[in-house]
Structure 1
Amino acid sequence: MQIDLSRRTAVVTGSTAGIGRGAAEGLARAGASVIINGRTQARVDEALQQMRAALPQATISGIAADLATAEGVNTFIAQAPDADILVNNVGTAFLRDYNGIEDIAAIPDEDWLALFQLNVMSGVRLSRHYLPRMVGKGWGRVVFVSSESAVNIPMEMLDYGTTKTAQLAVSRGLAEAVAGTGVTVNAVLPGPTRSEILGNYMAKQAEDNGITVEEAEQGFLQALRPTSLIQRFATVEEVGNMIVYACSEQASATSGAALRVDGGVVRFVA
């Protein structure tokens, strides 16, 4: 399969590191003109320098904006008013221990609302802008980067899992809204991945316990994701490959789907 996106412009949010960075680099390798995003100009500039050095033939630009706010989204779209591909990747999680209902009850409103603003509303606001323009052109791709936590709710991150389920509802609803237009909307569900957030958490666990990062990852899988079939963390490039496919011309018959890159963690067939 030869994926060629040389005539397309792609926006990838939260893409200075992690899964977003993997997706942005994959899209750039496929020929797309890629616009990356981070919260600060310093992060964007650093990522641009690294990506341009690694992919000297690619067209890559960047916009600093906090997409957890309506103002930040407006700042972004003012600088990138049009796109053929939108990857709603930006998001975060609050990593906590779980010892029972008391821990869930202790999650404050501020945490719930902050995660909804970033993980859910950023994608809602950006899709609200770009989708009608894609429909007008008769071609477009929107991908929400959800998580296996959307269907395998982690009690230690109940608020995070809930936002990831919400992303599935939004992506399916938008896919139905643009049916028959040449625009597709899908969600990608990564499992445990060596992304920036989880990678840093694993590194700290390794340091605290005097073990290697690989041993910390295995401990995480055994304790929290024992159903993993690949029995390791995925790389951001592996998740990025699925995102690139969902954005390709070849994925034209895939819409409204939840595409799992979870390493087989979720134990159902559909």
Structure 2
Amino acid sequence: MRRAKPKDQPKQAQKSSDTHHSSCSSFFDTTSSRLRPAMSYDYLFKYIIIGDTGVGKSCLLLQFTDKRFQPVHDLTIGVEFGARMVTIETRPIKLQIWDTAGQESFRSITRSYYRGAAGALLVYDITRRETFNHLASWLEDARQHANPNMTIMLVGNKCDLAHRRAVSKEEGEQFAKENGLLFLEASARTAQNVEEAFIKTAGKILQNIQDGVFDVSNESSGIKVGYGRPQGSAGARDGAVAQRSGCCS
């Protein structure tokens, strides 16, 4: 009697799982180790991007992570996510970035993402004064719900539209100085200062770690010590290796 061949269901299930992971590989290191080794990093920094709707938060994220500009972008519903590896002072750092909805109806959801963020980009549109006028409200929310040591970068977006400017650069600089924020004007369309906004924020966070401002063993700081990090390297005392994130749903 011929023995029936077993069905190949387990193999099919594994294939489906691998496909799902690889679709998220630009954001997470969940791809099978058989395909590629996980990229190691010294630290993972969690960011949040906040500000009024339509100021270009999602476009800044897309320009930073994908190096492209999308002129027509649907309004963010809840939050969107992106990630990218950068190098700060020769140290590999992974930035995990949460782009939040600017509409008032989503503010309660946005507030839940302040907790556990090491850095924030507070964005306004230089061509719309009302978005600048609302900065104080956004900053109050951040200070109330976030880690008190969170580094905040104020970004005046759409500086490529200087001919339509409604907020001067000096006003942005003054607001940042009065509130202890970093400041840059940027353009998601041309990529001007987009890289710098994220990198300078990470540099300030790293400096705060080196100065002992953060307890990186506490994940509420928005900082994780990287996996694959050699023992005995600078900062290894900061705690256990970071866990891999689950894939997006």
* Structure number having the greater helix percentage: 1
* Structure number having the greater strand percentage: 2
Whether TM-score is above 0.5 comes out as no
Tell me the TM-score normalised to structure 1 length. Answer: 0.40
Structure having greater relative contact order (Cα 8 Å, sep ≥ 6): 2
Tell me the TM-score normalised to structure 2 length. Answer: 0.43
